Structure 1
């Protein structure tokens, strides 16, 4: 479980409301203290489009999060649905990953029992996303519940093919998130990049992509930079968080985010990288500011 609250609970609530330097130099440049000392007036470099996930900062009202995000240079808020889009528009921020069509994280496209509900939900939501001027709409494989990889793939293809033509018509991208099944989301099926990439190949549409969650994939498979290089054509979005713990991405955890961001940028990626860590420090906004600076290569 994530600390403070689970993402599963947070998203359920939202849905319910919406239908290479030397080692010493490199480590020094990575410390939170140095990142915090960078002048606030420093413009971001523009190589990464920064976003932040709403649920991680749920103790702040959305207006406040939008104001603080804009000060940092963040362009978008992740994982908000239609009821919150007017607030984002008021502040001139994008909805970088829309939600509200999914049932939850465990009942997904890998099980035909949920196809009727999912097809109805996504058929209603896709035009709303497009009308609002947004692009990405999240989806989930769901839990295995005893299904092998091939059965899960076939079921996902069957369900997703029924809504992909509508997504293509409205220029909306359905984005399936990769989640770890080792720590946070036991039994989740889309828990390896290779499985998600195979699904994308079978669907054969630019309107289906993967959400490569760096935190989750470090836990379940590691080899993050190589995996991104080999599969970037199937990836439409990225999430960050510290490993272990899902907290700040500073030098208390094992991932070196500047190198990961350079790898993402080198693929020609033009989408969003969203911070999805749960801040432990008292100054939550400073933690967010530090994370953006670390990732702003």
Structure 2
């Protein structure tokens, strides 16, 4: 190839790419929003918290989205009103940093989860989130055993009520010192507990930052993953071309494992039209 022709072609290609990038957001609202429903879609309302929950639920109804994440008992009646499922319940945890890896929190956590598990089941929901807590100088093996000691006291109740306790994986950039910060540690905890009623919430954003190789992790450890969260890396923003992950391939890998749970959008939008950004995210994850 002649150098002059190459430069001209490259310049034209670059201009085209810039044009596509610049138009990506403007074009998105023009796309037809029609889901194939091969994936069970959900979304975390906290990312859109400036939209009142009731208005948000009305929007989900209009989009045909049937679930929302991280809602506690106080708002479950509102979800029922709009026939929206709570795909990940919360409200039993103490905090992200005070969790099952520290025995001094076990008494309170056991009380909280013992009260919450029947409520989740009675409401017709399945998933209930939990957290490992921070290390605070604790050895990871000690922390894992502490989690086993504490969680094993509520797992029989979860099994009785058909509730799945799910521990979320976090990265060390956003959640410094958090213990459950990698797939292997989480999978080892699942193996020690030995119950289908304990799974990992695999947050794709967090694990891309912490360990990468997302699709390999999904293929290798999918029996231990009960729920997925999305967001763009870097920045936890839209899952479009502005970030480094290619979500259609990731979702395809999830689907190929036979996963029947929920994939929840958990990104912070930079778009002026937040619902357009949400629709774009759903479509990119709708294989």
The TM-score, its normalising length taken from structure 1, stands at 0.88
Q: For each residue in 1:88-124, what CA deviation from the matched residue of structure 2 results, as whole angstroms up to 9, or x when unmatched?
A: 1111110000000000100000000100000000000
Task: Give the length in aligned residue pairs.
Answer: 268
Q: Is the 8 A contact 2:231 2:266 kept in 1?
A: yes
1:69 aligns with 2:53: no
Partner of 2:12: none
Q: Which has the larger radius of gyration?
A: 2
Q: For each residue in 1:126-163, what CA deviation from the matched residue of structure 2 results, as whole angstroms up to 9, or x when unmatched?
A: 00000000000000000011111100110000000000
Whole-Å separation in 1 of the counterparts to 2:251 and 2:144: 30
Q: 2:191 aligns with which of 189, 201, 214?
A: 201
Q: Is the 8 A contact 1:50 1:76 kept in 2?
A: yes
1:83 aligns with 2:74: yes
Shift of 1:72: 2.1
1:259 aligns with 2:249: yes
Shift of 1:73: 2.5
Partner of 2:29: 36
Q: Is the 8 A contact 2:117 2:163 kept in 1?
A: yes
Q: Secondary structure at the match of 2:267?
A: coil
What is the root-mean-square deviation in Å for CA atoms of aligned residues?
1.6
Shift of 1:33: 5.2
Q: 2:120 aligns with which of 120, 129, 133?
A: 129
1:273 aligns with 2:266: no
1:105 aligns with 2:96: yes
Whole-Å separation in 2 of the counterparts to 1:201 and 1:32: 43
Whole-Å separation in 1 of the counterparts to 2:233 and 2:29: 21
Shift of 1:71: 2.0
Shift of 1:282: 1.2
Partner of 1:248: 238
Partner of 2:136: 145
Q: For each residue in 1:244-281, what CA deviation from the matched residue of structure 2 results, as whole angstroms up to 9, or x when unmatched?
A: 00011110000000000000000000000000001111
Q: 2:216 aligns with which of 223, 226, 248?
A: 226
Shift of 1:32: 4.8
Q: Secondary structure at the match of 1:147?
A: coil
Partner of 2:162: 171
Whole-Å separation in 2 of the counterparts to 1:267 and 1:221: 20
Shift of 1:34: 5.2
The runs of 5 or more residues in structure 1 that have no matched partner are: 1-23
Shift of 1:35: 4.2
Shift of 1:75: 1.4
The TM-score, its normalising length taken from structure 2, stands at 0.91
